[in-house]
Structure 1
């Protein structure tokens, strides 16, 4: 197995297309490899080397894909959601101890002002006119002032297997978001597992509609297919109105998405049956939140292709389990069989349960993070006897297929976007009218869950639901804003007096 991205991305004939995009000429594998080498040389000359952190705030598209791969190959990439507000960028850039921030040259992102305030070096990504998809050059903002000098990186070049290739934050309900460091070995292993599960070949072309600041899009959408010499067609992000036009242009053999995207595609499919017939898919893939079996059936009937549902998480560098491709059996309602790491079901006392027993899903393998950064408490709670505890409750049937029966963690899963309720609590608590708050997930027919909150106001204060939503919206990305806020005299508590987020929606009749 390849242990570094350099080895992984050695697949693909030099002249074969690697990265394409709407209305752009493709970048070849040879061009991609040269771009990665040139970018690393530029970063090294700026004093940025192996294990130095480079935050990336770019719009979805081919340059985000190639910039991520270039950084992840020799420094530590830290892709951030471009939709974050200034407060969020300040937290993440500080917490990551970022050495530099890469933005598009014309970007007006609040991340720029935050980086300047924190003393994080700014680097512009410049796309030359008429360049193939994903081609770019880097231009440090301080070059004009003569401050671009300085020592070259002490440890430059391509990263080694145990160097950190990427850092992402995971949401925590009882603590601040945790940093998940993922090594070259982790990324290479996960991309290889997905490549094998989906049986990619050089003849495949993936239509990528997933955001490229998420583990799902980065690993399954980009790295895994490229590891087989496949082509990746990078869109500006999901758009149901443009999906079928992109399909006509890309002529894909597959795509991966979250359930809400699949449902939006279904709603427009009847008007685009000619496009579907022209470009038959080999398969479709779904991950990041559970897919209703009814939707799987409808999608398979429309596209006349199998839908493969997979189960992933950041700490596993995405994929843990997956339903296999035909002729093997797919079981709708399950997340399939172990597809990379080993998977077991663990009882509360730490013993492994036989098949059919319900307990916590645990994993171990080369794609699993070695542990959270600077967080001994989370590592103590998250690992047991060499196994990583997912926080999900599940059961494995006699054939090894895993069903997720509940979530032990309280993270709100809004259509694949994970929201830490505690983070939203803390924002609401900053409002002068708010005395107490508890955020929780309430069921939503399309997204799976939506953010809700119970609020107790300070004596003599008044505020409307809309005003509080606007307040949160000014501090956090739109998907974190509570869609329902209940004003109460006291926060509902469990028998022991603890706040109980799980089950709160049902208790309050929000189901």
Structure 2
């Protein structure tokens, strides 16, 4: 180690930012990789973070200041997230947001500055300038190791050189806001450190591991499960420009990862192309595959395991928990298809509406508490009163624990279909319809009904080359479901609408499809 890099490491460890303490891999070990780029080592990443902190301080950005990041997926997005969080508070935003959305998010965050690409001229810049928010330019150093950058902007009044501390907010993210105004979730460095440790322990991550990241880095799944948990284990992460099923197998061959993590729709798109990439699949050395952020159909789990010859670990996470709450186990531990596993970090319980904790086999709301859980939504006392009732954080999910304390999530409470008083879990209907040999994807949802209030509907994508009609699929469901659970309307689509992270969207789907 050079004297300069030793000095950087010393400064970072002495001043105590938890992000730097997490990036603790061996000096020459790879940390950040990307397609057709040389690797940035853990030592190089520590130097980059120290340099970036100095550049931010020189431009008036210091501890507690909020910096929105609007960058495309890739290695610079990963290193910028780490670097900004080490010196200030970071708020990654979806680069696809339009001006009105950016106006809301930047205002709600209280951003002091926004970090954009060197040549960015889109609405992020114009909105920031109109709001009086400073614009920082990230200059990617393409002739240097992956993720290398410098920050340019107009000179400002220098800030104190303090680094962020354990109880400071490291990361600001909004909830999806599907049915209401998005809520702002502040996650402290302590929350992120706890979650990274939980994921690392669950997956038994070590220095030899490498994650192939295809998740967007404006979302908790990619930021914590892929990037932060890898670096905290002294391992490495291969940062792609974002999910692309056509390029996935090329990246798999180049990166030679030991694992990847994704949402179910991504896994399904990968499986659809696996047969055409047989040699790459055969040569892959995956230790496991992880799935999270939406329910993984048991059929998809089985097909993934058969194709890649490794265990598939389904986990359960959410923004307010800095991602992971429960996870199935690596062998020789149990993996239960349809279950998200036992608690994997925080405590998990199932609660009745009156606050009673329920026993195995009883259905109620999933609640959690632990060191990875946010202390509360920002500027939203009413939401906090409801979310933290009875001393636990209420996830808004309905679920049931079995005798092994494995959790089965039966649906979002707000997605449960109320058909004339009969409560129907859309996930239960999904599971049945996925057994039809012609069905590739399905999302069951509530459709307005003038007498019953809600009726059951389903949107379906057929397997390539398969043919099936609405009546055939309804007949299939009728033999496996109680009559009131059988979809009264089935819409066959080429593609089901997805959210920004690739999750299928139930809420609002009836309106999008013009039903009811």
CA contact (8 A) 1:40 1:157 kept: no
Look up the match of 2:22.
8
Q: Partners in 2 of 1:303 and 1:123 — Cα distance?
A: 43
Q: Partners in 2 of 1:442 and 1:340 — Cα distance?
A: 36
Look up the match of 2:78.
65
What is the root-mean-square deviation in Å for CA atoms of aligned residues?
Answer: 2.8
Q: Which of 362, 366, 373 lines up with 1:368 in the alignment? A: 373
Q: Which moved more, 1:231-240 or 1:108-117?
A: 108-117
C-alpha change, 1:93 and 1:411, in structure 2 (3 Å) is farther
Q: Which of 159, 163, 168 lines up with 2:164 in the alignment? A: 159
Look up the match of 1:396.
401
SS in 2 for 1:350: coil
Q: Partners in 1 of 2:308 and 2:165 — Cα distance?
A: 42
Look up the match of 1:77.
90
Look up the match of 2:241.
236
Q: Which of 429, 444, 453 lines up with 2:459 in the alignment? A: 444
SS in 1 for 2:371: coil
Look up the match of 1:113.
126
Look up the match of 2:209.
204
Look up the match of 2:250.
245
Deviation at 1:253, TM superposition (A): 0.7
Higher relative contact order (CA 8 A, sep 6+): 1
Deviation at 1:272, TM superposition (A): 1.3
Q: Partners in 1 of 2:343 and 2:308 — Cα distance?
A: 26
Within-5 A mapping of 1:90-489: 90-140=103-153, 143=154, 148-150=155-157, 152-154=158-160, 156-172=161-177, 175-410=180-415, 443-445=458-460, 485=511
C-alpha change, 1:406 and 1:484, in structure 2 (3 Å) is closer
Q: Partners in 2 of 1:101 and 1:439 — Cα distance?
A: 43
Runs (5+) with no aligned partner, structure 1? 416-420, 422-437, 448-476, 489-504
Runs (5+) with no aligned partner, structure 2? 1-15, 418-425, 431-444, 446-452, 463-501
Q: Which moved more, 1:214-223 or 1:381-390?
A: 381-390
Q: Partners in 2 of 1:58 and 1:85 — Cα distance?
A: 14
Q: Partners in 2 of 1:165 and 1:88 — Cα distance?
A: 22
C-alpha change, 1:174 and 1:245, in structure 2 (3 Å) is closer
CA contact (8 A) 1:346 1:359 kept: yes
- Residues matched between the structures, number: 430
SS in 2 for 1:277: helix
Deviation at 1:185, TM superposition (A): 0.1
Q: Partners in 1 of 2:364 and 2:119 — Cα distance?
A: 50
CA contact (8 A) 1:15 1:29 kept: yes
Q: Partners in 1 of 2:267 and 2:503 — Cα distance?
A: 21
CA contact (8 A) 2:17 2:163 kept: no
Deviation at 1:158, TM superposition (A): 2.1
Deviation at 1:275, TM superposition (A): 0.9
Structure-1-length-normalised TM-score: 0.80
C-alpha change, 1:129 and 1:392, in structure 2 (3 Å) is closer
Q: Partners in 2 of 1:267 and 1:60 — Cα distance?
A: 24
Look up the match of 2:474.
none
SS in 2 for 1:385: helix
SS in 1 for 2:394: strand
Look up the match of 1:450.
none
C-alpha change, 1:409 and 1:199, in structure 2 (3 Å) is same
C-alpha change, 1:293 and 1:351, in structure 2 (3 Å) is same
Q: Partners in 2 of 1:306 and 1:487 — Cα distance?
A: 37
CA contact (8 A) 1:49 1:75 kept: yes
C-alpha change, 1:84 and 1:333, in structure 2 (3 Å) is same
Structure-2-length-normalised TM-score: 0.79
C-alpha change, 1:4 and 1:214, in structure 2 (3 Å) is same
